[in-house]
Amino acid sequence: GNSVTQMEGPVTLSEEAFLTINCTYTATGYPSLFWYVQYPGEGLQLLLKATKADDKGSNKGFEATYRKETTSFHLEKGSVQVSDSAVYFCALHTNAGKSTFGDGTTLTVKP
Amino acid sequence: GAGVSQSPRYKVAKRGQDVALRCDPISGHVSLFWYQQALGQGPEFLTYFQNEAQLDKSGLPSDRFFAERPEGSVSTLKIQRTQQEDSAVYLCASSTGGAGSDTQYFGPGTRLTVL
C-alpha cells in the first residue's frame, strides 16, 4: 500500500532560521502531494500542494517540489517566524479517494 | 462561509457503549472522508464517500465501525460496543470533487475517550 514518511520531530529553531522538513513517499500511480498544517488549538488546514511531478507548491513563504525521481516532497522556508510554530503533516491523495498521511512534525520557533 | 463542523467535540463513553459522531461538510462538497487520529500520529483513513455512495471503507478497523451519508450531505460514524483502543480523535473532511488533486477541508474533530 501507499506510505508517507516524514522527518521525526520535534524541531526547534530560532526565528529567521532556515527550515527543512523531509517527506518521502511510496505510491502506485500518480498521487497528488500535500502539506497540511495544524496551528495550536486549530484544525488541519492546507498549507500547499503539488499535483504532478516537478510542480512546486508555495504559500506563506513555504515551498515544496514534487520530485518523482526521489519520491520526495520536502518542505522548506527560508526564514521562519514564531507564528510558524505548528504541527506539519505531509500527505498523499489518490483519485481512488484513499489518502495517506505522515505522522506529523512539530515545529517550535523561538524568538 | 461555514466550514466543516463536527459534533460532539468531546465524547466520553464507557466500554461497551455505542456512540455516534456527526459530520456536516461544506455545502455542495461531493466527497467526504473520515479519519482516526491517535495521539502523536497522523490521520489514518477510515472511509470515503462520494455523494451518498461509500466508495471505500477499507480503513474501518472492525465491523463495530459503520458510516453512512444517506442524502449525500451529513454523515454519521457509528461505533458499536466501544473499546478502549477506540479512544482517538475522529476527523471528518470534505472536498469539492472526487479527484486526488482536490484539497480536503477538515473539521475540528471529535475526541472520543473510552473508559
Average pLDDT, chain A: 94
**Interface with A, mutate which of B23, B31, B34, B104 (most A CBs under 10 A):** B104
Q: Which residues of A touch B33 (CB under 8 A)?
A: 97, 99
Which residue does chain B place closest to A99, by CA atoms? B45
Q: Do A44 and B102 touch (CB under 8 A)?
A: no
Q: Do B48 and A34 touch (CB under 8 A)?
A: no
Euclidean distance between CA atoms B47 and B78, whole angstroms: 12
pLDDT digits (tens, 9 = 90+) for B33-83: 999 999 889 999 999 999 999 999 999 999 999 999 999 999 999 999 999
Return the bridge partners of A33, or none. Answer: A50, A92
What is the reported pLDDT for A103?
94
- Cβ–Cβ < 8 Å for B66, B80: yes
User: How would residue B1 be classed by pLDDT, with cut points 50, 70 and 90?
Assistant: low
- pLDDT surpasses 80 at B98: no
Q: For chain A, which residues score pLDDT lower than 50?
A: none
**Interface with A, mutate which of B103, B105, B110, B111 (most A CBs under 10 A):** B103
pLDDT digits (tens, 9 = 90+) for A26-47: 998 889 999 999 998 888 999 9
DSSP letter string, B78-102 = EESS--GGG-EEEEEEEESSS-TTS
Average pLDDT, chain B: 94
